[in-house]
Every structure is written in structure tokens, then in C-alpha cells.
Chains A and B, each alone.
Chain A
Amino acid sequence: MSQLAWSHLSYLAVLGGCLLGTAPLEVLLRTGVYRRWLRLVLSLTPGLALGVAWDLYAVHAGQWTFDRRYLIGVSIAGLPIEEVLFFVVIPVCAVLTLEAVRRRRPGWLIGDEAGDSGTIRAELCPDDDS
């Protein structure tokens, strides 16, 4: 591959770096995010749908443009595939980070904890630093 061709992987490489960088959280802190893949897929679907719609509008309105030299050249619904994957990769990293924080600080409730009183207590007492 020539140097020019390698540049087409730039955006994809950035996204890959995000996934590689957060992968140790799943392995070392046992965040269990990929294991709960259905919940993960459902969680990121609204952001993906709205993000792609928003992005299509922005590109159509000429608010931003992509430099084709840094894209692999595959489009989905008129957007570079990298831009669509952005709305998958960033939310995955976000969930991994939140679950990693939970693993390190179990006392900081996020609202879906087990136990009969967990949800109610978390809802009534958001200031749960105890």
C-alpha cells in the first residue's frame, strides 16, 4: 500500500483506538458491558438513530464536510461509514467508563442497583455518597 492509501484508514483507526483503549476495562475491571450485549445494543440505538439523522441534516446543510483522503470510501445512508460507527463506538466507550467507575466505587449508585430498596433509595436520595 502506498502512503496515500494508508491515510484512508485514519478515521477508522481513531475509532479502533477508542475500542482498544477501553477494552481493558471489560477484561481487567470485569465491567460486563459486552457480555450484556443486548442491553448495550438497545441503549445505543436512540443515540445512533438521532445522531445519524442529525448528521445527515448537517452534511446536507453544508455545516461540515469530511475529507475523503481520510475515509475508506464506504457510505451508509449517505454518510461515511466511519461517521455512522462513531455513534456506536463513543456510546460503547461511555457505558464501559460508567461501569468501570461503578466497579471502582460501588457506593456511588447509578440507579439500577439490585435489591428491593435499591431503585427507590437511589431515586429518592440522589446524593448517595455515604
Chain B
Amino acid sequence: MSYTVLMLLGLAGAVSVDLLLLKTRLLLRKAFWVAYAILFGFQLLVNGILTGIPIVSYRASTVVGIRIGYAPVEDLGFGFALILLTLSCWVQLGRRERRAAR
């Protein structure tokens, strides 16, 4: 599987966790998108350093070749999935704490 396919699988997985499995529905919340917008800016910076130096290099055949700044679009989708999955788990654990406290 190419990096592009893996990234799309990761995205689908993270979206499923948020909307269907944990039902945290961060994708429908303004707070999530504002936080992501901030993170996206820094992601471009960090990814620019990692792929610009380059500390990490990609084989051309594994990415579709679209880049934003230095970052291949796959990295950005991959970062989104990682962030969404983590935050969905964070919110879910917070809910469980609230329920346990009651």
C-alpha cells in the first residue's frame, strides 16, 4: 500500500472513532476546528523543517506529489488523523471521569 492509501485509511479510521465509535463528535465542534487551525500552522512549520532539511525523505512513487509548503499532502492528512484520534480519546476519558465522579 502506498503512503497515500495508508493516510486515507488512517483518516477514515479516525473519523469513524470520533463520529461512530466514541461519538465524541469533535468534527462538529467549533473548538476542535479552531484548535486544529492553530495546530495546522505549526504543523506546516515543523513538517517544513523535517522534510525541508530533509531529515525525512519520501520515495516519489509513494506520494501523490501534492505539497503544501514542503509537506506532502499525505503528512497533513496523517497529522489530522493523529490529532483527531488523540483528542477524541481525551474527550471520551473526560466523560468517563465525570460519570465516575457522579
Seen from chain A, the residues whose Cβ lies within 8 Å of a Cβ on chain B are: 10-11, 14, 18, 21, 39-40, 42-47, 50-51, 54, 57-58, 61-67, 70-71, 87, 90-91, 93-95, 97-98, 100-102, 105, 108-114, 116, 118-119, 123, 126-129
> Is the pair B31, A14 in contact by a Cβ cutoff of 8 Å?
no
Interface residues of B in 35-74 (CB under 8 A from A): 35, 38-39, 42, 46, 49-50, 53-59, 62
The smallest C-beta distance from B23 to any residue of chain A, in angstroms, reads 7
> Is chain A's interface secondary structure helix, strand, loop, or mixed overall?
helix
A40 contacts which chain B residues (CB < 8 A)? 90
> Is chain B's interface secondary structure helix, strand, loop, or mixed overall?
helix
Instruction: Determine the distance from Cα of A57 to Cα of B56 in the docked complex, in whole angstroms.
Output: 15
Query: What are 7 A-B residue pairs whose CB atoms fall within 8 Å in the complex?
Result: A50-B13, A64-B58, A64-B59, A97-B38, A100-B35, A108-B34, A110-B91
The tally of residues in B whose CB lies under 8 Å from a CB in A reads 48
> Is the pair A39, B6 in contact by a Cβ cutoff of 8 Å?
no
The list of the 7 closest CB pairs from A to B, nearest first, reads: A112-B94, A126-B28, A108-B31, A91-B86, A63-B62, A43-B90, A43-B89
Instruction: Determine the distance from Cα of A63 to Cα of B63 in the docked complex, in whole angstroms.
Output: 8
The smallest C-beta distance from B16 to any residue of chain A, in angstroms, reads 13
Contact of B31 among A61, A64, A105, A123 (CB under 8 A): A105
> Is the pair B26, A110 in contact by a Cβ cutoff of 8 Å?
yes
Instruction: Determine the distance from Cα of A67 to Cα of B39 in the docked complex, in whole angstroms.
Output: 26
